[in-house]
Amino acid sequence: MQPVPTGAQLKLLKPKELQVFTNWLLGRSVKEQFANRGTAGRYVAVIQQKLGVNIGVDRRTEVQPAVDLKALFSLGNVRPVPVWAVGTRYYSPPSLPSDRTDGHPDDNE
């Protein structure tokens, strides 16, 4: 997942960099925008440094379908913990806030 640049970050871009970034947002890859790989690579590096966004990868412009989290996390999708994981560092059994030994209430409360 790519970060979403702020307005202040976008103002850091020079006009040509902003044009390349905007074209990428619209689904036009950097490879399509430049015949020279070196030029394309420089724009990718500069925009990644200024915005933290890697425009060297293709951007999915089509809308992704919504995920129904209620169905995803339904009881029918719950799977048991594998036997091999119990007793290893890969498994920590669930605990109640009263089971905590640090004396602090649960962080989620």
Tokens describing residue 49: 């440094």
pLDDT over threshold 50, residue 82: yes
| Helix/strand/coil for 66 | coil
Higher pLDDT: 32 or 59? It is: 32
How many whole angstroms separate alpha carbon 65 and alpha carbon 50?
A: 31
- Identify the DSSP state of 86: T
Whether this model's pTM surpasses 0.85: no
Q: What pLDDT score does 65 carry? A: 79
**Tens-digit pLDDT profile for residues 43-79:** 999 999 999 999 998 876 666 778 888 988 898 888 8
Q: What pLDDT score does 109 carry? A: 47
Residue at token pair 């905007």: 22
